[in-house]
Structure 1
Amino acid sequence: MKKALLLLLLGLLASLGLQAQNPILRDAFTADPAPLVYHDTLFLYTGHDTASTQETNYKMPDWRIYSTTDMVHWQSYGRRLSPRTFAWATGDAYAAQCVYHRGKFYWFVSTFHKKDEHSQGGAAIGVAVSDRPTGPFRDAIGRALIVNEMTRDQPHAWDDIDPTVFIDDDQQAYLYWGNGSCRWVKLKDNLTELAGPINVFTPTGYMEGPWVYKRNKVYYLVYAGKGTKPEMIEYCTAPSATGPWTYRGIIQPNVPNSFTTHPGIIDYKGQSYFFYHNGALPTGGSYRRSICVDILRYNPDGTIQPIVQTTQGVAPVK
């Protein structure tokens, strides 16, 4: 009898273990999630942490791609892009986002620029392009789209990071980015040229990692905020992609075992999802992060409900 009860208990524990899906990616340490829905598939573009447990800084050699059709089972495509793709680049593969526009996939990335005739170094934003969501990707313009010399409001050299691109209903594209302040600029229809001046603003608590999208005529700017450290996720709303932005509050507090967190928000098969990263995997930490996903819910007035971080993750969808 005792043996039967023990076997039943072990079976229940195993079942619970199978339900604990967060973090969702376990073949590598991943960070800075950027989801994209194309046809019936959700593609997830990520950074890749390779720092050892003893290191105290980022080591991010490349960007990776994953996909799912049910939000539970993920296919890994491995490394699909790296700073080495860009002849002008050096350093790590920081946050990036891929968008689909007029038959092509544009992967906006942040890394560092070599010292040359175009820049004296510092963080920079580049664009890779492909005909398919999983690549192969190539440098779209052979130079950086944004270099450190274009922005002077911050004293440090790593302020031009974390690009996010939003394409409005009229097909006008906007690029947002920045550490310490948020910058935005209109892009030309080819997504590889600026279509106006760079604008700078600093939402309440803003630190880095902006993510911009539109829902029911409301524009959302979600970002990693300073809080009391470590980072937390805060957001603003606006009547247009250019503002004015109204601060709405904190929707996600600190995450387990990681100084940073990074939002990625998407609707897929009738449900809104909130992607982020933490350091919850074994041997994980601030420089060995892992991507998670939980449900995102709205109030009737369009404000975002606080994110409930779970270890179970989300239910499968058909």
Structure 2
Amino acid sequence: MKTLTLFAAWAVAASAYAGNPIITDVFTADPAAMVHGDTVYLYTGHDEALPDKPGYVMDDWLCFSSTDMVNWKPEGSILSLEDFPWAKANAWAAHTIERDGRFFWYVSVWRGEGLGFAVGVATADSPTGPFSDPLGGPLVSSDMTPDPINPEGRRVTWDDIDPAAFIDEDGQAYLFWGNTNLYWAKLKDDMIELDGEIHQIELPHFTEAPWVHKKGDLYYLTYAWGFPERTAYATSKSVTGPWEYRGVIKGLAGNCNTNHQSIIEFKGRDYFIYHNGGLLTGGSFRRSVCIDELRYNEDGSLQRIVSTLEGVPSADEPRAK
């Protein structure tokens, strides 16, 4: 009886934490979380590569929702490559944001040989859709940006990926994106057109996965650093820079070459959402989303991210003093 009582107590305690990875029945990658009211909506990529077949197999995006950061409700595959007839393959990293009651889902897709990757956008009146493509073509395409040159001296067309939107306190919206090159541009009020020129940001060892958020008086730009990827960050007093590099805050993802982060504040707690290859048959092409706490020092710097197996406690639980 004592053993059963102890087990029951352990089970209750364990259930109060999310556990990492947070989704175990499907492979999820490139998390982008959005707080809307009392709910967090988590948008992810969907890895479907077979265990013995290296390479990304990604045809749609998934959505999950939670009111406590522990229990996640699957909202299903609510956006796919089929919703972008001009896209040929690779439903890569994406980001959803709300403005004036409308939702904008920025995605990375492959347009085809010679055209490269592009950023598209889908819109909806609900965080779970239905979403549709208002442009019928890319928002950002490779003919708008200078494609990088690989070590063999060949032009590559993969720098227009990993979009991340941000709306500043004055209402101005921005889009950040890139691989090898880091770009940003203003968005018009309709959120589906660029407003003005495309700018570049130079940061040490920038690879991909930019994410911008603000805490207090500081803007934070986190990104994937090097390859295999770590996570680094820079800070600024303005969303348009200049950006001061502050260092690496997260090491290599377990059993996975890539790092891709999302940062939110929810119910007074700060969260760092990322992926790894932590499931039994996981890996670089079969990734899984995890969540751990994000902590700030008094000077605004970020503490190093500690990856855990237990994950985060319920957002509804009182914070430990």
Bin of the TM-score, shorter chain as denominator length: over 0.9
Alignment of structure 1 residues 98-113 onto 2, 5 Å: 98-113=96-111
Does the 8 Å CA contact 1:34/1:97 hold for their aligned counterparts? Answer: yes
Q: Secondary structure at the match of 2:208?
A: strand
Task: Specify the SS of the correspondent of 1:126.
Answer: strand
* 1:72 alignment counterpart: 70
Kindly report which structure 2 residues correspond to 1:79-228, keeping only aligned pairs within 5 A, or say none: 79-114=77-112, 120-155=114-149, 156-226=156-226
Query: For the residues of structure 1 that align with 2:5 and 2:243, how far apart are their CA atoms?
Result: 55
Ranges in structure 2 where 5+ consecutive residues have no aligned partner: 150-155, 317-321
Instruction: Verify the 8 A CA contact 1:125 1:147 in the aligned structure 2.
Output: yes
**CA shift at 1:12, angstroms?**
7.7
Q: Among residues 249, 252, 256, which one is paired with 2:250 in the alignment?
A: 252
Q: Write out per-residue CA displacement over residues 20-57 of structure 1, whole angstroms, 9 at most, x where no aligned residue.
A: 71000112100000010001000000000000001111
- Aligned 8 A contact 1:205 1:234 in 2: no
Counterparts in 2 of 1:37 and 1:304: CA distance versus 1, 3 Å: same
Residue 33 of structure 1 aligns with which residue?
A: 31
Distance 2:3 2:68 in 1: 33
Alpha-carbon distance, 1:213 to partner:
1.0
Q: Deviations over 1:47-102 (max 9, x none)?
A: 00000001111001100100000111000011010111012111111000000012
The one-letter amino acid paired with 1:203 is L
Stretch of structure 1 that moved more, 215-224 or 123-132: 215-224
Q: In the TM superposition, what whole-angstrom CA distance separates every residue of 1:212-253 from its partner, at most 9, and x where no partner exists? A: 011112111000100xx4211000001111100000011111
**CA offset at residue 317 of structure 1?**
2.0
Amino acid corresponding to residue 130 of structure 1 in structure 2:
A
Q: Which amino acid aligns with 1:131?
A: D
Deviation string, structure 1 residues 135-189 (Cα, Å, up to 9, x no partner): 0000021110011111114131111100000110111111100000100111111
Mapped pair 1:231 → 2:259: no
CA contact (8 A) 2:78 2:128 kept: yes
TM-score, normalised relative to structure 2: 0.92
Aligned to 2:271: 273
AA aligned to 2:122 is A
> Which runs of 4 or more aligned residues in structure 1 lie more than 3 Å from their structure 2 counterparts after TM superposition?
4-20
Deviation at 1:207, TM superposition (A): 0.5
Tell which deviates more after alignment, 82-91 or 126-135.
Answer: 82-91
Residue 93 of structure 1: SS of its match in structure 2? strand
- Provide the C-alpha distance between the structure 1 equivalents of 2:230 and 2:9, rounded to a whole number of angstroms: 34
Sort the Cα spacing of 1:15 and 1:53 in 2 relative to 1 into closer, same or farther, 3 A: farther
Sequence identity (%): 48
Task: Tell me, yes or no, if the aligned pair for 1:84 and 1:90 is still in contact at 8 Å.
Answer: no
TM-score (norm: length of structure 1)? 0.93
C-alpha separation between the residues in 2 aligned to 1:13 and 1:190?
Answer: 50
Distance 1:184 1:287 in 2: 28
Task: Work out the CA distance in 2 between the residues paired with 1:36 and 1:106.
Answer: 11
Aligned-pair distance for 1:14?
6.0
One-letter identity of the residue aligned with 2:175: L
Partner amino acid for 2:128?
A: T
Contact 1:90 1:111 in 2 (8 A): yes
